[in-house]
Structure formats: structure tokens, C-alpha cells
Amino acid sequence: MESADIENDDDISSSDNVEQTDSQISSHKTQSPSTQENDELEVFREEWREELKRKQQPQSSSVEEEAVSLYWMGAAAERSGDMHAALLFYKKACHLVPDIDFKLNKEQPPQSSDSEDSGDEDGPSGYERGSRELVEQFQTLSIQGPHWCTPARSTKSVHISSLPLDVVRCIVQWVVSAQLDMRSLEIVSMTCRALYCLAREPHLWRMACRRVWRDVSSASSYGDSWRRMFILKPHLQFNGVYISKNSYVRQGERSLDTFYRPYHTVVYYRFLRFLPDGSVMYQNTPENPMVSVSRLCHKHSRDESVLLGEYTHTGSKVVVEVVSQATGGSPQRQRGRGKGKRQGSSYDRKFHLELSLSSSSSRQRCNQLSWREYSCQSLHKPTGHAQTSHFNLDYTYTPFYFSRVKSYSTNSTGMLT
């Protein structure tokens, strides 16, 4: 009986243990989803921290060394003149290390410890040094080898490189022409390295300076560079025209009922075109500049409104004198006896203009002429009586501004000599 009771107690205890185990399993099952989510979130956080640490860590030495090597290879290619290969090396270096150029500018470049001091804080930056070196390399370019030019690809037609170098120099002088079209010369210099060198020859710019200034003794103040002197020293421009737009108000006629009185705004233009030989063309007309500039294309124009004269240029001062002959005036109708007959003007007029040459901006040099003095001397041919009138330079005398005219440089009348 007792044994049976004991067996029953064991069954009870075992059943209790089973119930306890089931409860633990059920509780474990109810807690497992949240625990797994916490574990996954913690793993994600750890991976994210490691990724941030990897991004914040500097580039590996091997990758950075390869980028530095590619960068200096590009610099060497640039010094030798192979710009295409230099760009390829620079792109590969920046692909490996995006800020490789900034890092190298803070360091001493290789093979330059003897010539430059990287510890000088007041010295030029790496970019400025590179730009200066590039300019110096372009200035030292020269034509080398038996042929002054080499074709980029084979062709059946005769290439310009077959011409002798002296003939090509004459062609370049025809490009500049007697009109001193230096803009066309710069365009030709962009063609190839050989024409770039020919367009930078000192004797070419020396001839241009002699055409502009009779005295070229001041070239020493520009580092004995004729091209630098021509660019920096103030001078007139010859491939266009200086235009001054003027306007005034004129009173009109009253209406029949005297209630309405109109006022008209009159607009007219003054044109000045300077030529390298010291002559100048002057015109005063109400016509649109698009129509008038064509009349100043040739020196000997048939238009009576175009006056010819001479000019002198000293520093920033420009003196212009143009003459209106008595036979070139508009005919006038006589009164009294001989009424109906027409005759020309009996006055010779000489206009004297003193202008000041300046630049309106850093990009547009020597493009503005401001008034300093304006007078007119009239000579009556029959009596010989002369009279001089000085004009008051008020706000109505607006400055002249330069405008380039393409038709002035399409043809060359002669080569630069």
C-alpha cells in the first residue's frame, strides 16, 4: 500500500516536472522573437560601426603610393608636351585617391628640393608654381628636327609641312598684314606647336611695335619682350571702329490749335577708324552703325560725309585732325542774281580732337576714348578770313567705345613689313 503511494508520489512529481518543463519551453518560445530581433539589431550596429571606421581610416599605403606614382607620371607627360597622356594619368590617380593633388601640394614634389623651398609659407602655392612652369615651358618651345611640321596622319595631298620655313614665315606676315590683325595671328597659333612658335617669334612682334610706335626704346621696361610690350602698352586698335552715340531733344512745330507741342529725340553717331599708317577716318551721321561701318572699310571712300585726317598717339593722349575741303561741302542755293544756280561750300574746316585712351574693364583693353578738347577752325576761301570755335564738352559728348568689325580683316592689302 505504501509502495503504491510512493509510486503515485513519483508520478505526481514527474508530472510536475513535465509541466514545469513545458512552461519553460513555452516561455522560451514567447521570448525568442524579441531576443532574435535584438541580436540582429546589435549585429547590424556592429557592422555599421566597422564600416564607418573603415571609411574614416586613411587609404592604404599601396593604393596611395600607386596614385602618387600615376600623378607624377602625368606631371612628367605634361612637361614633355603630351597633354593627352597627362590627362589619362591624372584621371587614374584621382580615381584611386580623389584628393591626391591637395595632398601632394602640401608635400615637397620629387626632384625639386634644390630649386624650391617647400617650407616657405609665403611662397607661391603648388597650383601657382605649376602654372608658372607651364607658361615658361610654352615660352621655351622651339621648332626642332629637319621638318618644321609633321602631319598628324598620312594624306595623299601635299601637306603644308612641305613648304620651306621661310615661305611659312611670309604667310604668317600676310596673316598679320599691314592692318596689324594680331587677333588672326593668335587664332593661327592655336593650330599646332610649329605655328605657335612662329607666331611668337620676336622679329614679328618687333615689326608690329614699330608700326604702332615709331620709338621702341621702351621695350626694356617690358622685359625685352616685344609681344608683352604690344599687349600691355596702351595703343589704338585697328580691326574695328570707335563709336560715340549722342542724342539731344529738339522742339517740334505746334499743332493748329496750339494745344499740342511735340518734342523729338534726335540720335546720331560719331565714328573714328584708325589705320596703322597714321591716317584716320571720321564720320558724323544719324544712320545706324550696321550701315555706316561699311563706308569706313576703304581709306578712299566716295562718301562725302567721311572725312580723312591724321592722328598722333603719345601715351594715353590721342590727337586727331580731320579736314573738310571747300569743294566737298553740300551745295547751297544762291539768292538774288543768279538765283537757281548751285555752288559748293566756300569754307575749309579743320576739326581738332584731343582724346584720352583708356580701358573700360580688365578684359577689354584700350577700348574707350574720352573727350579732352574739341575745336573747329573755319577758313573762308574767298576772303581768307579764319575763325576758330571751341566747343563746350558737356554731357552730350559721350565717349567713343571700340567695336570690332569682321569685314575690316577679311582681306589683306599687304604683308607686315
Cell numbers standing for residue 241: 571702329
Predicted local distance difference test score (pLDDT) of residue 311: 94
Highest mean pLDDT among 21-35, 269-283, 352-366, 381-395: 269-283
Secondary structure letter of residue 295 according to DSSP = G
Burial of 243 (0-12, 13-18, 19+ CB in 10 A): buried
Distance of alpha carbon 318 from alpha carbon 296, whole angstroms: 20
Highest mean pLDDT among 51-65, 138-152, 175-189, 247-261: 175-189
Condensed to tens digits (0 to 9), the pLDDT of residues 33-44 reads 567 777 888 888
Predicted local distance difference test score (pLDDT) of residue 354: 94
Highest mean pLDDT among 217-226, 296-305, 316-325: 316-325
Predicted local distance difference test score (pLDDT) of residue 138: 63
Distance of alpha carbon 222 from alpha carbon 398, whole angstroms: 33
Alpha-carbon distances, residue 91 vs 213, 248, 335 (angstroms): 48, 61, 87
- SS (HEC) of 227-243: HHHHHHCCCCCCCEEEE
Residue environment code for 384-402, b if the CB has 16+ CB neighbours within 10 A, otherwise e: eeeeeeeeeeeeeeebbeb
Half-sphere exposure of 143 (CA within 13 A, CB side): 20
Least confident of 97-106, 170-179, 277-286: 97-106
Q: Is the pLDDT assigned to residue 285 strictly greater than 70?
A: yes
Percent of the chain topping pLDDT 90: 19
- More confident of the two residues 266 and 139: 266
Distance of alpha carbon 214 from alpha carbon 216, whole angstroms: 6
Distance of alpha carbon 322 from alpha carbon 363, whole angstroms: 31
In the chain, what's the furthest Cα-to-Cα distance? Answer: 177
Average pLDDT over residues 272-290: 91
Distance of alpha carbon 178 from alpha carbon 110, whole angstroms: 49
Q: Nearest 5°: phi and psi at 261?
A: -130, 110
Q: Quick one: pLDDT band at residue 344, thresholds 50, 70, 90?
A: low
Average pLDDT over residues 272-287: 91
Predicted local distance difference test score (pLDDT) of residue 345: 63
User: Can you give the residue ranges of every domain in the chain?
Assistant: 61-112+124-139, 240-328+344-408
Average pLDDT over residues 365-390: 87
- The amino acid that residue 252 corresponds to is G
- More confident of the two residues 32 and 171: 171
Predicted local distance difference test score (pLDDT) of residue 26: 47
Q: Quick one: pLDDT band at residue 327, thresholds 50, 70, 90?
A: low
Condensed to tens digits (0 to 9), the pLDDT of residues 193-216 reads 888 888 988 889 999 998 888 777
